[in-house]
Structure 1
Amino acid sequence: MSGNWSILRLTSLAPPISTVDPPPSNTSQYPSLTEWEAPSFTRAAQFRVGATFVLFLFAACSNLALLASVWRGRGRRLASHLRPLMLSLASADLMMTFVVMPLDAVWNVTVQWYGGDALCKLLCFLKLFAMHASAFILVVISLDRQHAILHPLDALNAHRRNRRMLLLAWSLSLLLASPQLFIFRTIRVEAVDFTQCASHGSFRQHWQETAYNMFHFTTLYVVPLLVMSCCYSRILLHIHLQHLRNKAGESHLRRSGTDMIPKARMKTLKMTVVIVLSFVVCWTPYYLLGIWYWFQPDMLRVTPEYVHHALFVFGNLNTCCDPVIYGFYTPSFRADLSACCRRTRSNIEASPRSVGRHSVRRDPHSEEHGPRPAANQAASD
């Protein structure tokens, strides 16, 4: 991948905010569009596509299973205020799975854009919408856990409060992603017969483009991280102070349930902490690389191409982590998966037997002409 191609196609570097985001034409530090070289489907990009395909299969199956378990399976036993949170988290992960991953993989294979202007705008909008929804729902989960631990007696209002926060999270995601519909469009480079979905020319100055990317970096990563860190810090401080009071003998009613955190609530807290940590661990390296690019575009010439691809794939791994973490902490989800596997295996094993019996029963001469052939006998057994 040439340096010019890396500048043109930020999907291999910048966070999934602006998939293809070349510099504005009036910035002197970049070459003009007519001087850009035709790109190619490199070996590093092939690795990215293959890894994305594997993650797509796993994320689709696991998140669909999580959604089915919480919606119609044993997961319905969850508390009424927790079910909408897990349903929203699985829905956001499925948006990432069915929008971000296929778009990235196909785009790397085709190299240039063949979907037209309307699809260019729509998919760039959906990509940013999915990213924001995934981050904001983690914020809602963190706020819910904070309220559940710090105000355990206010559980009656949790369902209505969570529904309002989820509505706000989805609405904000929709609002913040809407500029993509106006910024992105198809651009054709006549010199090399190349068409790309890009934001080229949407910003008059390069600093405006950087400010736009930094704004979404703040809303996608910095603000959610600060809110989640604040929530869990307050939770840990509350647990620590409660432990000190119990140790000092100030809480003599240890089994009253009002001053000790129940095991089920503590288990849910641990699960949400791990889910948030997986988000931070998976996406932090990729966002840091994006910041480096936005302020020093020449870094493309000093960092190997496979690093950009590998960090993006590692970020997408977060979509696969949520159902795995949920299953680790939730026996009902594991039971639903086991039951589904047993039904599938029994159906596969029963199919050839039923076909064999059906063919034997349809033989009108089986009783008249003596013993059945060995093949039919084996099939009926």
Structure 2
Amino acid sequence: MFHLMTQYYANTSCNCSSPPSNWTEGGDALQLPTFTTAAKVRVIITFILCGVSAFCNLAVLWAAHSDSKRKSHVRVLIINLTVADLLVTFIVMPVDAVWNITVQWLAGDFACRLLMFLKLQAMYSCAFVTVVISLDRQSAILNPLAISEARKRNRVMLAVAWSMSVMLSVPQAFLFHNVTINDPEDFTQCSTHGSFLTHWHETAYNMFTFSCLFLLPLVIMITCYTRIFCEISMRLKKDNLQSNEIHLRCSKNNIPRARMRTLKMSIVIVVSFIVCWTPYYLLGLWYWFFPDDLEGKVSHSLTHILFIFGLVNACLDPVIYGLFTIHFRKGLRRFYHKATKASDLENNTVITGSITCCVSQKSSFLTADNVAERDYIQSNTESII
């Protein structure tokens, strides 16, 4: 995303602004971007990640739906995070890949404004829902007696998170628009060129977006888990001073095992968010404040790699959830067995239907040998199931 822009396209927003093609200058003439080898690799990997993320996140939604009798408020949080990841999967990834292929923007001004709004909204929702998960875990550990209020509290926090993701993304629809140049040839791009009076205004907007999208969520998440760590450490010290009695179904610090498992899962989700997106945003900060120093020091291939690394986060969330959730793994096994059984039954129907069709051409009824052959095929298929 962060690439060397010319004065025609002064657009360095961290929220998926322009296609990451290579803009270069040859003397005073503007060299238009091209579909480079690095961009081709990026497109291939992005489509692969899109498929993997769609399969994994849809599997989480299916498992959550099949396990709808469980009233866990954590399940609601995971569903919201999955929906946010699916927005990234079906909006950010395909748009980025297709935009790299076409190089310029071909979808028109309305699609430019709408998709830039949706892309930032998808990224905001992922960050804010992750923050809600952190706040929920903090409340569960620091104030376990208020667990009965968790469902209502989480509904309010989720409503605020989704509302803020929409409101903070609205400026995108007004800042982005189609920009066309005619020299050296007609070229149209979806850009913020002309939307800011000065470069300082653009930098201020970028910093505001960076703060809301990454810095503020990062501070909140670190604060939450620091408090959780301090609380657990304090309980461990208190337990060491008391008897060594181990309570049934509890961990050593008297926190229920299920709650500790959920805490570990949320920590891994937060860590994956931080690890995947930090390099990308650090590169953005470097470009906003020292754009001239970036040229010649950071290759375009690295910018491609860092953005793809950020997209991996949408694939990791469902995997993490599956590793830490027993009911989800059981649900996936049930789904796999049902899918396998349905597939085998369909194949069995095709095979037996073919046999019946072939025999019917020779005679008007099935012989005993045909029936035996059909039963033999069915029994082999059922044994595989």
TM over 0.5, shorter chain: yes
> C-alpha separation between the residues in 2 aligned to 1:7 and 1:75?
54
Deviations, residues 216-275 of structure 1 (Å, cap 9, x unaligned): 100011100000000010011000001111111189795697982100000000000000
In structure 2, which of residues 172, 185, 193 is the aligned counterpart of residue 200 of structure 1?
193
2:109 — aligned with what?
117
Are 2:49 and 1:55 aligned?
yes
Contact 2:249 2:257 in 1 (8 A): no
Contact 2:4 2:295 in 1 (8 A): no
Residue identity opposite 1:73 in structure 2: S
Are 2:212 and 1:213 aligned?
no
> C-alpha separation between the residues in 2 aligned to 1:368 and 1:357?
12
Gaps of 5+ in 1: 22-29
Deviation of the 1:370 alpha carbon: 8.1
2:382 — aligned with what?
none
> C-alpha separation between the residues in 1 aligned to 2:66 and 2:124?
28
Deviation of the 1:334 alpha carbon: 1.4
> C-alpha separation between the residues in 2 aligned to 1:68 and 1:370?
44
In structure 1, which of residues 338, 342, 345 is the aligned counterpart of residue 337 of structure 2?
342
> C-alpha separation between the residues in 1 aligned to 2:346 and 2:306?
44
Contact 1:20 1:199 in 2 (8 A): no
Deviations, residues 296-329 of structure 1 (Å, cap 9, x unaligned): 1121332111000000000100000000000000
Are 2:320 and 1:321 aligned?
no
Residue identity opposite 1:141 in structure 2: I
Are 2:346 and 1:351 aligned?
yes
Contact 1:89 1:138 in 2 (8 A): yes
2:215 — aligned with what?
222
Residue identity opposite 1:284 in structure 2: T
Q: For residues 1-381 of structure 1, what are the structure 2 equivalents within 5 Å?
A: 15-19=14-18, 35-70=29-64, 72-74=65-67, 76-77=69-70, 79=72, 81-191=73-183, 192-249=185-242, 260-298=254-292, 299-361=294-356, 363=359, 365=363, 367=365, 372=370
- The Cα RMSD (Å) is 3.1
The percentage of counterpart residues that share the same residue type is: 43
> C-alpha separation between the residues in 2 aligned to 1:356 and 1:256?
52
Contact 2:121 2:166 in 1 (8 A): yes
Q: Runs (4+) of structure 1 moved beyond 4 Å? A: 3-11, 250-259, 359-364, 366-381
Change (3 A) 1:348 1:6: farther
Change (3 A) 1:282 1:309: same
Change (3 A) 1:147 1:297: same
**TM-score, normalised by the number of residues in structure 1:** 0.88
Deviations, residues 144-196 of structure 1 (Å, cap 9, x unaligned): 00001111111111100000000000001111000001100000011121000
> C-alpha separation between the residues in 2 aligned to 1:112 and 1:155?
52
Range 226-235 or range 329-338, more displaced: 329-338
Secondary structure of 1:82's counterpart equals helix
> C-alpha separation between the residues in 2 aligned to 1:120 and 1:372?
62
Residue identity opposite 1:285 in structure 2: P
Change (3 A) 1:38 1:238: same
Deviation of the 1:344 alpha carbon: 2.1
Secondary structure of 2:49's counterpart equals helix
Secondary structure of 2:14's counterpart equals coil
Deviations, residues 61-106 of structure 1 (Å, cap 9, x unaligned): 0001111111x22365351x21221111000000000010001000
> C-alpha separation between the residues in 2 aligned to 1:82 and 1:275?
13
> C-alpha separation between the residues in 2 aligned to 1:273 and 1:75?
25
Secondary structure of 1:195's counterpart equals strand
Deviations, residues 35-54 of structure 1 (Å, cap 9, x unaligned): 42121100000111011011
Residue identity opposite 2:240 in structure 1: K
Deviation of the 1:366 alpha carbon: 5.8
Residue identity opposite 1:142 in structure 2: S
Range 337-346 or range 116-125, more displaced: 337-346
Change (3 A) 1:149 1:373: closer
> C-alpha separation between the residues in 1 aligned to 2:156 and 2:371?
69
Change (3 A) 1:241 1:351: same
Change (3 A) 1:376 1:239: closer
Contact 1:63 1:93 in 2 (8 A): yes
> C-alpha separation between the residues in 2 aligned to 1:90 and 1:271?
14
Change (3 A) 1:165 1:203: same
Change (3 A) 1:234 1:269: same
Residue identity opposite 1:245 in structure 2: K
Deviation of the 1:338 alpha carbon: 1.8
